[in-house]
Structure 1
Amino acid sequence: MNRILIPFVCITLGGIAFRVTAPEEDSSPEKRRQSALEFHIRAQERTGLLIPLYLYPADIHKNADYNRLIDLKRRYETVPMWVILNPASGPGNQIDANYTKAIDRLRGAGCMTLGYVSTRYGKRAEAEVRKEVDLWLKMYPRTQGIFFDEMVYTDTEAGVKHQCILKDYAHKLGYWPIVANPGAETPGRYFAAEAADVIVVHEGDSIPKEERLKGDYFGGNSDYPPFTRGVLLHSQKSVDKAGLKMVRKYARWIYLTEAVYRENDPKAANPWNRLSNHLEALCEFLSEK
């Protein structure tokens, strides 16, 4: 649905001022009805896995990690899986047949596939980002969604407008879902403006506190549905079911891996370049009633 941003309104409650940005609702009854129906359907969705699979699909039919993921999706068919592919910090400049086949195999198992595009926290020109989105469509047309990494998250109208332009562009090309990852606390105005279908509100080595995820105040996270939020965890030695049970109340897309990330350590620079050893335990947890 096309949205028009309106200026923020400053509301004061108990001496605290909250800035609120909201999209102007389309007045068309048919579009409003369709939007309500889509909301209803998404609100009933199970908690799913958002899997950054930055692993090259060499020898795809025998690739142990890809085959393990495909097998788990077939065994746990009710657990939604969105898989992010990242050939070269983006789509790259030429078609790689291994990625073409990987996308086919993942889709064949029932996984949604998303193409990686970095926005460098709004520092990349919109035209440059759009070009990479175009390349995903040109080179890997069976990719279904886009993952905008390093999303801008400044608490400004300019930041929201920038991200909404990118989301709208990808939507107009037929991409869904659009997931954006600032990996950090995201101002409410981005959710109010529907700057992405899902925003990753936490990427780190510990489960976020419930008080932070709940955001139970005017303009906080409690004002926006769980299916619009995701959480990515690295450096996890085990699956903390109690912690994840809390997280899934507020974020419908999750993933965790034992792989370690340490800043400025080349030996622990990317926790997403291998498939989590906890994946089966995650599937079991999410398949429970």
Structure 2
Amino acid sequence: MSLFKLRLFGKRNLNIFLSAILLVLILFYWRSPATVTTPVKILLPLYAYPTWYESKTYIWKDVVAAADKVPITAIINPNNGPDGQPPNEDYARGLKDLGQADITLLGYVYTKYGDRAIAEVKQDINLYYQHYNLDGIFLDEAASSSDKLDYYQDIYNYIKTETNLNRVIINPGTHTDERYFSQGATDTAVIFEQNSQAWTEYQPQPYAKNYPTEHFASLIHSVPDAATMKSHINRAVERHFGYIYVTDDSLTTANGDPWDSLPLYWKEEVEYVRSLNLVN
């Protein structure tokens, strides 16, 4: 083979090699969750008791530290709601600590899927408003069907007009009728609350893409490791979710509550969400 042909052969191989690299980079770019256009926020059910007197179990301080890196909305739940009274000494101390950071704080109120007396719901809301210095309300055990729309509109309007609380999140945990968003029943809905396996198969309803990402949240438990956690967050971004929380805690623990601890990979989760937001 002549020197000219050898050089030509090498040049062609180099062009093929460079083209292949370019194709890989293009594919990586389009598959990357970094193409999101709004910040990803963590919606954290902070149901652990504020044991400020025991540093090893006081996870509230870890939430405060994380809030310097990522937007966090934390839900407090003294005892299935405000427990009919102002915060005790421990909760008062914990709330003071959370208040040192830029954390959006919500108070937990259950609604029995629209069957709890509205007067009782409003009583809990009033206690949070008067004594807890929060930013909003988290309505758990929320209905998702249109027949309960009036119930949640009533509560939503009460929160917005009778208090200074400015954020309402409902938790049906499943697909939710679009009218909850279009007709003023909530600011955000948790439309997925399940385990890791169910998340891999989940798809939001088609209407979701017509609304801002901040309307939709997902809470995923029983996620075994950091690699799976990152994959699930990627899917959340791809599926048009603005709020996400992933934990390795599960329903099979001693108390059956997957929301009363932080995952072993908490710091990695915070850093991963931070990395996504830095790209935007």
Shorter-chain TM-score tier: 0.7 to 0.9
CA-based RMSD: 2.1
SS of the equivalent of 1:64 reads coil
Identity %: 27
The equivalent residue for 2:265 is 278
Structure 1 stretches of at least 4 aligned residues deviating more than 4 Å after TM superposition: none
Residues 118 and 195 of structure 1: CA distance in aligned 2, closer, same or farther (over 3 Å): same
Pairing 1:68–2:62 present? yes
Pairing 1:252–2:242 present? yes
In 2, distance between residues paired with 1:268 and 1:57? 17
Pairing 1:92–2:83 present? yes
The equivalent residue for 1:35 is none
- Counting only pairs closer than 5 Å after superposition, residues 231-246 of structure 1 correspond to structure 2 as 231-239=218-226, 240=228, 241-246=230-235
The equivalent residue for 2:41 is 48
Structure 2: where are the runs of 5+ without partners? Answer: 1-35
Residue from 158, 161, 164 that aligns with 2:150:
161
Residues 108 and 243 of structure 1: CA distance in aligned 2, closer, same or farther (over 3 Å): same
SS of the equivalent of 2:223 reads coil
In 2, distance between residues paired with 1:243 and 1:287? 15
Letter in 2 for 1:254: I
* C-alpha contact 1:210 1:246 (8 A) present in aligned 2: no
Letter in 1 for 2:234: K
The equivalent residue for 2:20 is none
Letter in 2 for 1:49: I
Q: TM-score, normalised by structure 1?
A: 0.75
Render the CA deviation track for 1:212-248: whole Å, top value 9, x for unaligned: 22x33xxx22222211000000101023323311212
Pairing 1:179–2:180 present? no
Letter in 2 for 1:112: T
Residues matched between the structures, number: 234
Higher helix share: 2
The equivalent residue for 1:223 is 210
Larger Rg: 2
SS of the equivalent of 1:164 reads helix
* C-alpha contact 1:53 1:85 (8 A) present in aligned 2: yes
Residues 197 and 91 of structure 1: CA distance in aligned 2, closer, same or farther (over 3 Å): same
The equivalent residue for 2:103 is 111
Letter in 1 for 2:142: M
